[in-house]
Each structure stands twice: as structure tokens, then as C-alpha cells.
């Protein structure tokens, strides 16, 4: 059996180098590339055709979960494993929905990482019981929980979170204050909160701002 080709995507160089150093010791694995963000990622994918991509979630400008959603349909022979410090159910749920084959916390050990890589490259999914539980805990909430905010709403949300008043935001966006109010009210409905304070808190916790 030929080596499993791996591509590492993480914005922290030391983490990349560490992982590469770790995995290089294993004869069944081969690191074919690394990448610190979405820049050059698709070229690398096309060029190296890895079996497995280890992908961080939070990177500057981009979200690893979104990249997977985008990439997996175009590269059907490549499997994606999320490798992140975020142990939050919502991320696991989204990873599964977006087609990730595995989800590992950076607080895992070498053996588990290698096990995950081998299983995933063989076409099996790898979500250990801790991760599965996180996901289950969030599936119920997922139904009632927040719908997506529109682009315009995100724009307003961002300005609100910067402490701008409705009128300031209205002037900046060239709309009436009433429209800004409506956006804020609609966001509160979507996120199922009572007022702006709670809206900001929830948005912050969801990583929206």
C-alpha cells in the first residue's frame, strides 16, 4: 500500500511544523504540502491530490468549515479532518454537515491523530465519543437555534457591536433609522434573544463578531 498523502492547513506555522515533524516519523504517511490559509490552498489541492487534509477552523479571513464545504465537491478523492482547539458542539455539527470525515481537538494525542488519518483515508469517518457527545448535545438546539443572518444584517450587527447608535448606522448605510431598527429586531428574532445586549453576547459567542 502506498503512503497516505496529507496536506496540513493551519495558520500557525509552529503547529504546522510540529505536526509535520510528528507525522513524518510514520512510514505510512507522507506530508505533501502545507498551507497557512486559503491562499494557494486550491492550487496545492489540485497539484498534490492529497488523501487527507488536516484543516484548522479559525484562520485569518477564512473559516476552515466553509473551505471544506467548498472544496469537497470539487475534490472527491480528498477527505477532510478538522483539527482545531474548538471543542464546541456547533462546530462539530457544522463540520459534519459540511462533509468533514473527522474532527479532532488539538488536545488529542499522536496515536489518535494517526488512527483518525488512517481511518479517514480508508473512507471511514472518525469522530470519537467526546466529539460525538458534543455534537449530540447541540443537535437539539440546532433546530430552533439561529438561522443565518443576511449580509446586510451582519453589517448592521457589526456596527451595533462597535457601539454605534441606530442613527449613526443609518447615516453610514444611507438608509433610514427605521430600517436599521428592523434589521436589529429581525436579528433578535433569528437568534431568539430579547434585546441588543443579549444579541451582542450571543453573536460574540457564535463568533459572528
CB of 141 to DNA, least distance (A): 16
CB of 129 to its own copies, least distance (A): 17
Q: Is 105 in the site for its own copies (CB under 8 A)?
A: yes
Residue 25: which H helix or E strand, with range?
Answer: none
Which 8-state DSSP code applies to residue 168?
Answer: H
CB of 206 to DNA, least distance (A): 16
Q: Kindly calculate the radius of gyration of the chain based on its CA atoms and give it in whole angstroms.
A: 20
Question: How far apart are the C-alpha atoms of 159 and 153, rounded to whole Å?
Answer: 10
Q: How many CB atoms lie within 10 A of CB 127?
A: 20
The answer to whether 45 touches 54, Cβ cutoff 8 Å, is no
Q: Is 25 in the site for its own copies (CB under 8 A)?
A: yes
Q: Which of 57, 71, 104, 134 binds its own copies (CB under 8 A)?
A: 104
Contacts of 179 (CB under 8 A, 6+ apart): 170
Binding partner of 104, given its own copies, DNA, none, CB within 5-8 angstroms per partner class: its own copies
Q: Which is nearer to its own copies, 18 or 40 (CB)?
A: 18
Contacts of 114 (CB under 8 A, 6+ apart): 23, 26, 29
Point out which residues bind DNA (CB under 7 A).
Answer: 147-148, 150-153, 160, 165-167, 173, 175-179, 181-186, 188, 194-197
Residues of the shown chain interacting with its own copies in the complex, contacts defined by CB under 8 A: 11-15, 17-19, 21-22, 25, 36, 83, 85, 104-110, 113, 160-163, 165, 193-198, 200-201, 204-205, 209
Amino acid at each position: 500500500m502506498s503512503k497516505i498523502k496529507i496536506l496540513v492547513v493551519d495558520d500557525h506555522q509552529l503547529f504546522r511544523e510540529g505536526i509535520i515533524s510528528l507525522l513524518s516519523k510514520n512510514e505510512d504517511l507522507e506530508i505533501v504540502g502545507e498551507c497557512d490559509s486559503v491562499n494557494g490552498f486550491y492550487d496545492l489541492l489540485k497539484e498534490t491530490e492529497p488523501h487527507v487534509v488536516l484543516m484548522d477552523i479559525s484562520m485569518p479571513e477564512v473559516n476552515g468549515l466553509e473551505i471544506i464545504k467548498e472544496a469537497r465537491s470539487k475534490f472527491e478523492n480528498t477527505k477532510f479532518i478538522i483539527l482545531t482547539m474548538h471543542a464546541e458542539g456547533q462546530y462539530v455539527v457544522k463540520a459534519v454537515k459540511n462533509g468533514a470525515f473527522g474532527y479532532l481537538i488539538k488536545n488529542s494525542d499522536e496515536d489518535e491523530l494517526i488512527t483518525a488519518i488512517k481511518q479517514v483515508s480508508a473512507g471511514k469517518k472518525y469522530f470519537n465519543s467526546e466529539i460525538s457527545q458534543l455534537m449530540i448535545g447541540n443537535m437539539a438546539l440546532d433546530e430552533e437555534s439561529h438561522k443565518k443572518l443576511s449580509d446586510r444584517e451582519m453589517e448592521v450587527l457589526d456596527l451595533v457591536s462597535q457601539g454605534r447608535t441606530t442613527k449613526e448606522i443609518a447615516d453610514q448605510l444611507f438608509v433610514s433609522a427605521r430600517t436599521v431598527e428592523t434589521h436589529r429586531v429581525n436579528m433578535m428574532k433569528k437568534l431568539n434573544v430579547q434585546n441588543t445586549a443579549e444579541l451582542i453576547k450571543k453573536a460574540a459567542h457564535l463568533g459572528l463578531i
